[in-house]
A and B are shown apart, each in its own frame.
Chain A
């Protein structure tokens, strides 16, 4: 199993944001997290990324025990939240180059990622601040491809994208799955997300149930 949570509790200011979550995610799945705002979807994604301490229970992600190896898991997963994690004053190519240097990726890896995300030569020379929301999202996803993340954790990936951008994103996530990545995402675009997902998890009041 790529992700294995057993009775996991995560507490914010004495409030259990995750209250005994138990679920498994297998390699190659695209899992949709469904639930209302404040249900714990973002907490679940951040916990999988090794960003939150676990108050109770056991959790393993990509073979790392989150109780003791939270920093180790971070190099294996790619988390894309509401922000894109890009530098606005740098061009697309410069942002990609920055990430490739940080993780020791090759120029070839960068070119491949940019091709997959449709970031053409013309787009690559444009500052991120001057891109549309959809183009920025594609650039952010390209950084996950460069990082060769084995587990993609996406929080509202369709937000801010036009219809074409959403189609491209879905295509990219399916491609990532075919390339061996596992995808977990939260979305309020229910119809589109349900077509994309291979399985659903309901998150309500910090409790996770299979659907």
Chain B
């Protein structure tokens, strides 16, 4: 975009400004660390209480990690857009003619970093609570899975967060819209994580096909989101 004085502002500068702003606000308010993380931890512990069987827990650990991540995603997305809509800042960005595709990427990267921090804790929790094993090859697959799945979740979360940001009842609307869309990520990430953990005798090599699906999902919502975000916010 061009600014008022007619000089061109690089898209990267807008991305980094939005990214740093979101991370700075998180570091200051600590909502993810003080509220979302304990919530996700509680989900994991409650599942452990409910299932109360080491064999079952070891087998379903992958699914529980990603379910807890999805539940946490709703909270993080809502928080991410609440800070932008509380005093009309998102509207100001729109009014000022800022490149909204760059805003989309800035917010998505900030969301992805928060999710990755959360997932690392959840995976460590699963290793301790559910006693899953992780080989070196499994670790490589798991890291790849986390990166690909998180990218997809961050892109789709930012897109739907923008869509519902100005809507009435957005707290309930967001999960309702987002859950069906992220179902492929839940399935693929769970299968890939099961392969990484070797749950139920699964081989590590079986997981890489699911990484392909996660990559396609992330690419589709990355490109589609950057194209649609501006129009959605504008409406």
Interface residues of A (CB under 8 A from B): 49, 51, 71-72, 74-79, 81-90, 94, 98, 101-105, 128, 136, 143, 147-150
- Report B23-64 CB contacts with A as 1/0, cut-off 8 Å: 011001100000000000000000000000000000000000
Residues of B within 8 A of A81 (CB): 88, 91
Residues of B within 8 A of A147 (CB): 3-4, 96
With both chains docked as a complex, state the minimum distance between the C-beta of B13 and any C-beta of chain A, in angstroms. Answer: 6
With both chains docked as a complex, state the minimum distance between the C-beta of B98 and any C-beta of chain A, in angstroms. Answer: 5
Q: B2 contacts A75, CB within 8 Å?
A: yes
Q: A94 contacts B24, CB within 8 Å?
A: yes
Q: A75-B4, A88-B83, A94-B24 are in contact. Are A83 and B13 (CB under 8 A)?
A: no
Q: Which residue of B lies closest to A49 (CB)?
A: B95
Q: B21 contacts A84, CB within 8 Å?
A: no
Residues of B within 8 A of A98 (CB): 17, 21
Q: A74 contacts B9, CB within 8 Å?
A: no
Q: B96 contacts A103, CB within 8 Å?
A: yes
Q: A102 contacts B95, CB within 8 Å?
A: no
> Looking at chain A's contact residues, is the secondary structure mostly helix, strand, loop, or mixed?
loop
Interface residues of B in 85-107 (CB under 8 A from A): 86-89, 91-98
With both chains docked as a complex, state the minimum distance between the C-beta of A152 and any C-beta of chain B, in angstroms. Answer: 12
Total contacts A-B at CB 8 Å: 91
Q: B4 contacts A149, CB within 8 Å?
A: yes
Number of interface residues of B (CB under 8 A): 31
Most buried by B among A89, A90, A103: A103
Residues of B within 8 A of A89 (CB): 25, 28-29, 83
Q: B98 contacts A102, CB within 8 Å?
A: yes
Please name 20 further chain A to chain B contacts, defined as beta carbons within 8 Å, in addition to the given A51-B94, A148-B5, sorted by A numbering: A74-B96, A75-B2, A75-B96, A83-B91, A85-B95, A86-B87, A87-B21, A88-B83, A88-B86, A88-B87, A89-B83, A94-B21, A94-B24, A104-B3, A104-B5, A104-B8, A128-B87, A147-B4, A148-B4, A150-B4
With both chains docked as a complex, state the minimum distance between the C-beta of B25 and any C-beta of chain A, in angstroms. Answer: 4
Q: A87-B25, A148-B5, A149-B4 are in contact. Are A102 and B87 (CB under 8 A)?
A: no
Residues of B within 8 A of A143 (CB): 92
Q: B9 contacts A104, CB within 8 Å?
A: yes
**B141 CB–A CB distance under 8 Å:** no
Q: A101-B17, A147-B96 are in contact. Are A75 and B1 (CB under 8 A)?
A: yes
